[in-house]
Amino acid sequence: MSDSNGFEDLVVETPGVDFRVHRSVFTDERYLEREKKTIFTNGWLYVGHASEVRNPGDFITRTIVGERLIMCRDTGGELRVFFNSCRHRGALVCREPSGNTARFRCLYHAWTYRNSGELVAVAERASFPEGFSLEDNGLESPRFEVYRDFVFLTFGADASPLQDYLAPVLPYLDSIVDQSLTGDMEVLMGSHLYRMGGNWKLIVENSLDGYHGFAVHQTYFKYLAGRGYDLDGGLEGVGLSLGNGHAMLRYKAPFGRSVARPWPAMSEQARQRVETIASELVDKHGEEKADLITKTSKNILIYPNLLIIDAASLQIRILDPIAVDHTDVSAWCLAPVGEEEELRQHRIQGYLEFLGPGGFATPDDNEVIEACQEGYGQVRGIEWSIVSKGMGKEVPSMTDEEQMRGFWRQWQHDVAGTNEAAAVTGGRQG
Amino acid sequence: MTEMATRGPALADLETTHEIQALLNYEAELLDGWQLTEWLTLLTEDCCYLVPATDAPDSESPQQAVFIISDTYAQICGRVERLESAMAFVERPRSRTRHLITNVRVHEPVPNEYKVYSNFAVYRSRRGVSHVFVGEYRHLLVRSSDGSLRISERRATLDAEELRPQGKVSFIL
Ligand code: FES
Ligand SMILES: [Fe+2]
CATH 2.102.10.10 fits A50-147, yes or no: yes
Q: Is the pLDDT of residue A419 over 80?
A: no
Separation in Å, CA A391 to CA A13, A400, B121: 10, 8, 50
Is the pTM above the cut of 0.90?
A: yes
Domain made up of B11-158: CATH architecture: Roll (3.10)
pLDDT at A257: 80
Tell me if A321 sits within 8 A of A32, measured CB to CB: yes
Q: Distance from B136 to chain A by nearest Cα, in Å?
A: 17
pLDDT at A425: 46
* Separation of alpha carbons A360 and B155, rounded Å: 18
Tens of pLDDT, residue by residue over A1-60, are 446 788 999 999 999 999 999 999 999 999 999 999 999 999 999 999 999 999 999 999
ipTM for the predicted complex comes to 0.95
* Separation of alpha carbons A373 and A198, rounded Å: 5
* Separation of alpha carbons A20 and A382, rounded Å: 12
CB-based contact B169 A358, cutoff 8 Å: yes
Q: Is the pLDDT of residue A426 over 70?
A: no
pLDDT at A233: 80
* Separation of alpha carbons A28 and A291, rounded Å: 43
Residue A57, Ramachandran bin (φ over 0: left; ψ between -120 and 50: alpha; else beta)? left
Indicate the pLDDT class of residue A423, thresholds 50, 70 and 90.
very low
* Separation of alpha carbons A119 and A148, rounded Å: 30
Q: What superfamily would CATH give domain A166-416?
A: Naphthalene 1,2-dioxygenase Alpha Subunit; Chain A, domain 1 (3.90.380.10)
Mean of per-residue pLDDT scores for chain B: 94
Relative to beta strand B43-51, strand B149-158 is parallel
- What does the pLDDT average to over A277-305? 96
Query: Backbone phi, then psi, for A305, in 5-degree steps?
Result: -135, 15
Among A95, A103, A105, A106, residue to substitute to test ligand 1 (most atoms within 8 Å of Cβ) = A106
* Nearest residue, CB atoms, A357 vs list B56, B87, B168: B168
CB-based contact B66 A188, cutoff 8 Å: yes
More confident residue, A420 or A249: A249
Atom of ligand 1 nearest to the CA of A93: 2
Task: Find, in chain A, the residue whose alpha carbon is nearest to that of B161.
Answer: A193
Tell me if A32 sits within 8 A of A25, measured CB to CB: no
Ligand 2 centroid – CA A361 distance (Å): 6
Tell me if B172 sits within 8 A of B156, measured CB to CB: no
pLDDT at A235: 86
Tens of pLDDT, residue by residue over B43-92, are 999 999 999 999 999 999 899 899 999 999 999 999 999 999 999 999 99
Extract long-range pairs of B30-34: CB within 8 Å, 24+ residues apart.
Answer: B31/B97, B31/B99, B31/B171, B31/B172, B32/B97, B32/B98, B32/B99, B34/B83, B34/B94
Query: For atom 3 of ligand 1, which residue has the closest CA?
Result: A109
Ligand 2 centroid – CA A172 distance (Å): 21
Query: Backbone phi, then psi, for A406, in 5-degree steps?
Result: -60, -45
Tens of pLDDT, residue by residue over A220-233, are 999 999 988 888 88
Half-sphere exposure of B20 (CA within 13 A, CB side): 28
Residue B146 in 3-state DSSP?
coil
